[in-house]
Structure 1
Amino acid sequence: MKKTLPLLLAFGFLFTLQAPAQKTFQVKGRFLHDPNGEKVVLRGVNEMFIWSKRDLTGEATFPEIAKTGANVVRIAWLSSAENPIGAAANLDAVISNCVKSGMIPMPELHGATGDWGKLQQQVDYWVSPEVVQVLKKHEPYLLLNIANEVGDRQVTHKQFREGYGLAVARIRKAGIQCPLVIDGANWGQSIDILQANGRYLLQKDPLKNLLFSVHMWWTAPDGATKRIEDEIKASVEQGLPLIVGEFAPMGVGCAGSIDYKTILEECQKNEIGWMAWSWGLVDNSDCKLMDMTDDEHKGRFKGLSGWGKEVALTDKYSIRNTAKKTHYMKTLGKVK
C-alpha cells in the first residue's frame, strides 16, 4: 500500500502527495519500474570513464550525452585494487554527475572481462565498506552491473549459477537493494546461459531484483537478422528481464558486421532496454568505427556522426525518438 504525505497549501486545501511505493528501482516480471511503480525502458550509451584523461567523473560529458534524451549511461569502471583511480570518492563523483544530468547511472567493473576466476574479486570492491556507503547514498536511482562480460565460452551452467548466486548473496548481505545486472558469459555474448539460468538466479535473490544483459557482438552470418529476432522472441516468451548492454555496427577489431538496426527495432517492439557501445570520449582502440562521436569533438553532442548519429538521433528507433523518462526520473537532476 502506498503511503501518503499531507501537504497543506497556502490557500487552505489539504492535498496528498504519493510517497514512493518502494525505495529503489524494481524488476517486476520482465520489466524495470521506478520507485513510484512506473515502467522504465532503458535507452542510452556506454562510456569508458575510468580510462578518461580529460573527464574521469563525467562532469563535462554527461550533459552532452543528456542532449540525446538518453535515460541511462552504463559507466565502465575498475576497482581501486586494479586501478587507484577507481577509489570510492571518484565512483561517488561519476555517479553524482550522471544523476545531475537526469540519467540513471549503471556502473560496471571491467576487471574480469573474459576471466571467470575474477568474478568474486569484483564483488570484493562492491561490498567494501567505503563503496557500500557510496552505493547506499545513490541507491534510489542506481542500477548496479556486477561485472563486465565475465568468463569465456567455457563457463558451464553450474559455474554460472554458483558464481552469480554467491555474488548476488554477498551484495545483498552488504545491504544493497537496487537492481543488480548480470552479463552473459562468453564476453557477454551468451544469451543461452542467461535464458537457462535467469529464472534460477531470480529465485535465489531474496529481493527478486535482477536484470540480465546480453552483449550482441553477433557478427554475420551468426548475428544475422533471424538470430536477433529469434533470441529476443525466446527471451520475451520466457519472461526474462533482458536488456542489451552493448552493441555496435561491427565486431571486435572491426571484424564483421552487426545488424544493429534490427537490434533497435526488435528492442523497441518488445520494450527491451539497450545501451550502445560507445559514446566516444575515450577511443575504442581496437575499432575506432565504434566511437559515436568524432575525433574533433570527442564526447560532445555536436560530434555525433555516422552510426552514432543514427543511433542517438536520426533512426526511427534512436534514443531521441524512443527514450522516455518517468516523472520520478525527471526529478533526478534535482537530486542533491
Structure 2
Amino acid sequence: MYNPKLLKFFLMLLLSLTAICARTQAQGTMQVKGRFLYDPKGKQVILRGVNEMFIWSSDLTGEKTFAEIAKTGANVVRLVWLSSDDNPKGSAANLDKIISNCIAQGMIPMPELHGATGNWSKLQRQVDYWVKPEIVAVLKKHEPYLLLNIANEVGGWEIKDEQFREAYTSAITQIRNTGLKCPLVIDGTGWGQNIDILQANGPYLIQQDPQKNLLFSVHMWWTAPDGAKTRIINEIKESVAMNLPLIVGEFAPMGVGCKKYIDHKIIMEECQKNQIGWLAWSWGLQNNGDCALMDMTNDAQNGKFAGLVDWGLEVAVTDKYSIRNTAKKTRYFKRLSKKA
C-alpha cells in the first residue's frame, strides 16, 4: 500500500544519512585551505613545536620524550625518521608506535624521512617507503591527526624549477594513489633553505594534488651578520601576499658549524603576526652533530623539559612568542591527550 508520509520519512532519512557521511568524509583529515591549516572539524591550527631525531635516539618511539615536549604546550612534533631500507628501526611497527605515542600526548605527528637530505637522486627512495602497503596501513590508521613530510631537505641549490615540479608531482601522485588524503609537507631544496623554489612552484603543485592539501616548509638556516632579519621579514611578507601555505620547518639561532647568526626571535615574531607555523631544531635528546648549541636541552637533563637552556628555554617557554605563549590546541586535539 502506497504511503506518501512513510516514503517522505525514508527520503528525509536517506538525505540525512548522506549528509552525515559526506560531512564525515570531509572531516576525515586535516585540510589546507588558502594558506591555513584546519583540523578535521574545521578549526584553524597554527603549528608550534619542535623537531627531534628519534630514529637515532635512545628513545626511538618517544615513550618518555613526548611527555617532556608536551610540557611546553607544543601542538606538533616533527619526527625525524628513516625508511626501513636505510635503517631497520624504521619498521612499520615502530612507525606505528611513535605516531601513537605522539598523538597520546595531544600533539600532531609530522613524520619525515631523512634519507635524502641534500641528495636529489634519493627522493624516489623515500616515496617508495611511504607507499609500501604496511606503511600505508599505519598512516591510514592515524590519518586524521597526521601531517606527512615526504622527505627532508632533498636536493642542493642546483635543482631547477622543472625538476622540482616533475619530481614532486610524481611523489604526490604516488602517495595519493594509495588513498591517503592527509596534508603532505614539501621541503625546499638547498638543504631546505630555498624558499624561492617553494614560492615559484608551490601554486603549481597544489593544482597537481587531487586533495589540494599541501604545506610548504622552509628551513631558515639563513646565517648573516644581521641575523637575516630583513630577509626573514621580506620572504614571509612575499609568501603571505601570494597566499602560500608556508611553515618554517626548522630553525635555530645558529647554522651548521655553529655559524652565527640567525635572528630566531624575528622568525617567531613574524610567524606569529602572520599566523605561520614553526618548529624549532631540535629538542636535544639526540645531540646535534652539526652544532651542539642547537640542542634545546642539554647536559644531564637533555631531552627533558627541566633541561631547557639558553635559546631553547626562550623558544619553548620564556619569550613573548614562545611555544608556551602562542601554541593553541583545538578541542579535537585536546581530547587526544591522556590527561584530557
TM range (shorter): over 0.9
What's the counterpart of residue 147 of structure 1? 151
2:41 to 36, 45, 60: 36
Q: How does 1:165-184 map to 2 (within 5 A)?
A: 165-184=169-188
**Is structure 2 residue 97 aligned with structure 1 residue 93?**
yes
- Residue type of the alignment partner of 1:107: P
1:270 to 264, 267, 274: 274
State the distance in 1 between where 2:44 and 2:95 align. Answer: 27
8 Å contact 1:19–1:36 — kept in the other structure? no
What TM-score do you get using the length of structure 2 for normalisation? 0.92
1:19 Cα offset (Å): 5.9
State the distance in 2 between where 1:98 and 1:208 align. Answer: 26
- Residue type of the alignment partner of 2:131: V
- Residue type of the alignment partner of 1:287: C
Q: Give the secondary structure class of the aligned counterpart of 2:142.
A: helix
TM-superposition CA deviations, 1:220-240 (whole Å, max 9, x none)? 148521100000000000000
What TM-score do you get using the length of structure 1 for normalisation? 0.93
Q: How does 1:253-332 map to 2 (within 5 A)?
A: 253-332=257-336
Q: Give the secondary structure class of the aligned counterpart of 2:49.
A: strand
Structure 1 unmatched runs, 5+: 6-17
8 Å contact 1:43–1:72 — kept in the other structure? yes
8 Å contact 1:20–1:36 — kept in the other structure? no
Structure 2 unmatched runs, 5+: 1-14, 18-22
1:4 Cα offset (Å): 8.2
**Is structure 2 residue 53 aligned with structure 1 residue 48?**
yes
The RMSD of aligned alpha carbons is 1.6
What's the counterpart of residue 123 of structure 1? 127
What's the counterpart of residue 239 of structure 2? 235
Give aligned pairs, total: 320
State the distance in 2 between where 1:223 and 1:76 align. Answer: 26
TM-superposition CA deviations, 1:144-181 (whole Å, max 9, x none)? 00000000000000000000000000000011110000
1:332 Cα offset (Å): 1.9
1:287 Cα offset (Å): 0.6
Q: Give the secondary structure class of the aligned counterpart of 1:136.
A: helix
Q: How does 1:59-70 map to 2 (within 5 A)?
A: 59-70=63-74
Q: Give the secondary structure class of the aligned counterpart of 2:300.
A: coil
**Is structure 2 residue 226 aligned with structure 1 residue 214?**
no
8 Å contact 2:232–2:266 — kept in the other structure? yes
1:307 Cα offset (Å): 0.4
State the distance in 2 between where 1:309 and 1:81 align. Answer: 36
8 Å contact 2:226–2:261 — kept in the other structure? no
After TM superposition, the runs of 4+ consecutive aligned structure 1 residues lying more than 4 A away are 18-21
- Residue type of the alignment partner of 2:305: F
Shift in CA distance, 79/222, structure 1 to aligned 2, threshold 3 Å:
farther
1:295 Cα offset (Å): 1.6
1:256 Cα offset (Å): 1.9
- Residue type of the alignment partner of 1:106: M
- Residue type of the alignment partner of 1:143: L
Query: Percent of pairs identical after alignment?
Result: 72
TM-superposition CA deviations, 1:53-111 (whole Å, max 9, x none)? x2100000000000000000000000000000001100000000000111000000000
Using the TM superposition, name which of 289-298 and 41-50 deviates more: 289-298
Q: Give the secondary structure class of the aligned counterpart of 1:99.
A: helix
- Residue type of the alignment partner of 1:260: H
